[in-house]
Structure 1
Amino acid sequence: MSQARDHGGAHWPMRPFKNRVTRPRASARRRAVAQLAAGTPVLPVLIVSVVVLVDLVGGAGMIWLPLLAAGPALAATTNGPRGVLCVGLLAVVLGATLGTRDGVPGHELAAVLSALVTVTLASGLASALRGRREQVLAAVRSVAETAQHALLRPVPATVGPFQVAVRYSAAAAEARIGGDLYALIPTPYGVRLIVGDVRGKGLPAVGTAALVLGVFREAAYDEPDLLAVVGRIERSLARNLGPDDFVTAVVAGYPRAGQLEVVNCGHAPPLVVRASGGVVAVEPPQPAPPLGLRALTSQSPGLQVVRFADGDQLLLYTDGVTEARDRDREFYPLRDGLARHLSDEPARTLTALHDELLAHVGGRLHDDAALLLIRKPALAEGTVPGPTVPEMAADAR
């Protein structure tokens, strides 16, 4: 009754009831039509229609009828078995109709229709197998994503006193995981971080990256000396890697205000961006072997202490960035790109760098690439000071 009063007429009460019934039905019909349209093999049906049109115009009979098999064959690459069977049934019906219309002899028409049925059944089977492979691939991708999240844990926007941003791209887009590694954790000895590159690709590289990160996370929390952290990683790799396997890496720490410790193990030098301007590469004082190869040489990595004031930024990266080439085989100029896109927000800087890197290579990287950028904001900028070392240590536990 309230609806009748709202509409102000004796004949109106039935309309809301009608709308309540028809609108859901109409909505259901629209959804069904949308689903049907989404699953309709448009291109295969179009090919069948073109063959029929050519036959009707030319009246050639047997010359064009075998081409109807292209419809179900193409549907197998884009649609499921149901769509293939629908296109095949359409092709058989139209083939029989056109053959009868054109006066094709019965035995010849039967041969053509038998071929259409055979192609349809074979295409339906191929479509079913393709769908099963796609399901398996989706499951593998899901496992790969889970493994990546477990291996390369998400890095928060702020860690201790730093603003942080990370960009990672695996060369095998289908796998979504590669041999590059990174980690940044608060410890009782300050914030510590690592960026590395495992020799090789695929599952063996992923396993080695997991080993390095696991040892680093334990050692970084336990060892007061950064060189001792590197030593533990080296000993673990020496026990577990083959003679030809190794990992290049940069391990860094921020033990006290204004000082940054860096240990470079055969890796590309980090870039420090001064708040006053300029990009400086932190070159190691002497060459050092990658992790896992120290037993083959008498050289050992050294500890560098770098000034790191408020407003300074540190970029660590892998060779997938600096060795990325364009069509003219020119390397990506990382230092120039960093200077161009530098901002007070590391996330914005890395987003611009990553986009420019992809544009440089034409949209797809041929090697894994990792970028990790930290910035020490000044308190005058209005940022909230990071937790103290004991608080960070408690969080890490």
Structure 2
Amino acid sequence: MRPGRAGASLVPVRARVRQPVRSGRTLFRGLVSAVERTDAASRHALLSVRGHSVAWLVPTLILAAIAVADVTTDVFQIIAWTVLVPGVAAAICGVRSTAVFAVLSLVVYVLADTVWKHRAETGLPGLVLVLVGGFVAVVAAAFRVSGERRMLHMRDVAETTRRTVLRALPDGFGGLEHAAVYLSADSDARVGGDFFDIQPGPYGTRVLVGDVQGKGLGAVDAAAALLGTFREAAYHVPDLAVVAEHLDLRMLRHRAHTAALGEANGDRFATGVLVGFRSDMPDAVELVNFGHEPPLAVGPGGVRRLPVAGGLPLGMRELLPGDFLTTVRAGLAEDETLLLVTDGVVEARDPDGAFYDHEATVALAVEADPSDTSPRRLVAVVRDGTLRHCRGRLTDDTTVFAVRRSGRPPMWP
């Protein structure tokens, strides 16, 4: 994770790369789906028709082909093929189905050796081989199914944890239209240190997007602590800079707490961007940057970086004595969308090691269709572009978050 670049320019970004081929959109939607599912889930979906598994068809067809080839030709040795059928079943079927195919393979072998007899008998050694192969296949299937169940259970736990930390945001929440996508670099965990939230209140609607340094449950724990503080401070505190101070203090307290527990989390910190939408500022927003990538303002006129002061990440105030949190007011037109990303986007690399330029990708998309700069479209553009650039191999948790005023008054409890 790296701090965001300071000194942002307001000059619209010009496209410097070729526009992606539109015909590839379907391919990359499929890539996104593959990234978001386990191998087991993908395999079950591929081998299902209307919710019913048809995995048994594969070993059945193989076994039938072996039997036909053995009866009609003298080319194939049945033993070299029959023993593989339960092995194939073990890879894609359940334990019972694998056991059935082990028995069927044995039956086919016995028929070929004792009934058809159009070649020399292979005898007891071949029979033992088929028996042992079937037994090994059943054991392998049992281990595979057990492992898949544990993995899917852990994925369910991780998904529940993620939904608890990153709560669902209703449409138009706080008077804002929003869209977000989160992709975990760990395909098994599906949970990491990226976080985002919207909190409406009497002093306007506040938005927080950030990334906790590190991975694992320690990063999730820190993200949950910061989001809890944000939801309370953003509602009750009038000054956005004071909300930022609450967040920094919470990071310091959390770090001290984990250190007292003896957890080896090191000097954990978090980058982030805090945004304030106020009803008395319809054409501007307030920003506090904690060493994060500067947000982009995307509208029909192009793409521009919003100016941010070079703030330090949360939990690193000791590096800069005095007032280190600066609130910046930046213009944001009614038809502009605020686009924020985490390090998984800006640090995505292609096979040659080149970083992904999401600004140029968004600029090309706006140039192609200036009439649609909605949060949903921008999130999809950056998500697909990131996965395309790194060939689906994410090295860091990736969050793309876009938000704009919906034109409706914010509602808050």
User: What is the TM-score with the length of structure 2 in the denominator?
Assistant: 0.75
Q: State the Cα distance separating 1:264 from its structure 2 match.
A: 0.7
SS at match of 2:107: helix
Match of 1:269 in 2: 294
For 2:336, which of 295, 312, 316 is the aligned residue? 312
1:199 correspondence with 2:213: yes
What is aligned with 2:29? none
Per-residue CA distance 1:300-323 (angstroms, 9 max, x = gap)? 221111123322321111121122
> Is 2:314 the partner of 1:294?
no
Say if 1:189 and 1:48 are closer, same or farther in 2 by CA, change over 3 A: same
Distance in 1, matches of 2:52 and 2:275, equals: 56
C-alpha displacement at 1:191, in angstroms? Answer: 0.6
**Contact conserved, 2:208 with 2:275, CA < 8 A, in 1?**
yes
Matches of 2:106 and 2:51 in 1, distance apart? 21
SS in 1 for 2:200: strand
**Residue 331 in structure 1 maps to residue 355 in structure 2:** yes
- 1:156-235 alignment, distance < 5 Å: 156-235=170-249
CA distance in 1, matches of 2:379, 2:353: 23
Any residues of structure 2 matched to 1:122-137 within 5 Å, and which? 122-137=136-151
Residue in structure 1 matched with residue 394 of structure 2 by the alignment: 365
1:77 CA drift (Å): 0.8
Equivalent residue for 2:97, pick from 38, 59, 83: 83
Q: Deviations over 1:185-210 (max 9, x none)?
A: 10221110111011122222212211
Larger displacement relative to structure 2 (259-268 or 41-50)? 41-50
Q: Does 1:121 align with 2:135?
A: yes
Instruction: Say if 1:376 and 1:40 are closer, same or farther in 2 by CA, change over 3 A.
Output: closer
One-letter code aligned to 2:298: V
Distance of 2:289 and 2:80 partners within structure 1: 68
Give yes or no for the alignment of 1:279 onto 2:303: yes
Determine the C-alpha separation between the residues in 2 that align with 1:103 and 1:57.
12
| Residue aligning to 2:405 | 376
Contact 1:249 1:264 in 2 (8 A): yes
Root-mean-square deviation over aligned CA pairs: 2.7
- The alignment partner of 2:271 has SS state of strand
Superposed displacement of residue 293, structure 1: 1.8
CA contact (8 A) 2:209 2:340 kept: yes
The change in CA–CA distance for 1:280 and 1:37 in structure 2 (over 3 A counts) is: closer
Correspondent of 2:409 among 378, 386, 390: 386
Aligned partner (choices 368, 372, 375) of residue 346 of structure 1: 375
Distance 2:211 2:325 in 1: 17
- Please report how far the alpha carbon of residue 45 of structure 1 lies from its aligned counterpart in structure 2 after TM superposition: 3.4
Hey, what's the Cα distance between the residues in 2 that align with 1:369 and 1:322?
9
The 3 A distance-change label for structure 1 pair 36 and 283 is closer
C-alpha separation in 2, matches of 1:356 and 1:288: 28
Q: Counterpart in 2 of 1:112?
A: 126
Give per-residue Cα distances to partners, 1:155-194, cap 9 Å, x unaligned. 2332334322222222223322222110111022111011
Q: What is the rounded CA distance, in whole Å, between the counterparts of 2:50 and 2:340 in structure 1? A: 48
| Alignment check: 8 A CA contact 1:51 1:65 kept | no
Whole-Å separation in 2 of the counterparts to 1:68 and 1:206: 50
Per the alignment, residue 31 of structure 1 pairs with none
Q: Deviations over 1:356-376 (max 9, x none)?
A: 332233244332211222223
- Per-residue displacement from partner, 1:4-49 (whole Å, max 9, x unpaired)? xxxxxxxxxxxxxxxxxxxxxxxxxxxxxx8999445333334444
Question: Hey, what's the Cα distance between the residues in 2 that align with 1:49 and 1:226?
Answer: 71
Q: Which runs of 5+ in 1 are unaligned?
A: 1-33, 378-382
Distance 1:271 1:103, change over 3 A: closer
Match of 1:303 among 327, 332, 357: 327
Query: Which has the higher relative contact order, 1 or 2, with Cα contacts under 8 A spaced 6 or more apart?
Result: 2
CA distance in 1, matches of 2:247, 2:237: 12
Contact in 1 for aligned 2:241/2:288 (Cα 8 Å): yes
Q: CA contact under 8 A between 1:155 and 1:165: conserved in structure 2?
A: no
Contact 1:266 1:289 in 2 (8 A): yes
| Higher helix content, 1 or 2 | 1
In 2, the alpha carbon distance for the partners of 1:347 and 1:65 equals: 57
Equivalent residue pairs, number: 346
Specify which of 139, 154, 167 is matched with residue 140 of structure 1: 154
Task: Check the 8 A contact 2:337/2:374 in 1, yes or no.
Answer: no
User: Quick one: percent identity of the two aligned structures?
Assistant: 33
Q: Which amino acid aligns with 1:348?
A: R
Q: Is the 8 A contact 1:160 1:186 kept in 2?
A: yes
1:163 and 1:36 map into 2 onto residues whose CA distance is 35
Q: Which residue of 1 aligns with 2:56?
A: 41
Change (3 A) 1:135 1:243: closer
- Structure ID, larger Rg: 1
Distance 1:344 1:56, change over 3 A: closer
Partner SS, residue 160 of structure 1: helix
Alpha-carbon distance between aligned partners in 2 of 1:53 and 1:296, rounded to the nearest angstrom: 77
- AA aligned to 1:355 is D
Q: Secondary structure at the match of 2:189?
A: coil
Partner of 2:268: 245
What TM-score results when the alignment is normalised by the length of structure 1?
0.78
Distance in 2 (CA, whole Å) between partners of 1:84 and 1:119 is: 11
Q: Answer yes or no: is the 8 Å Cα contact 1:254–1:261 preserved in 2.
A: yes
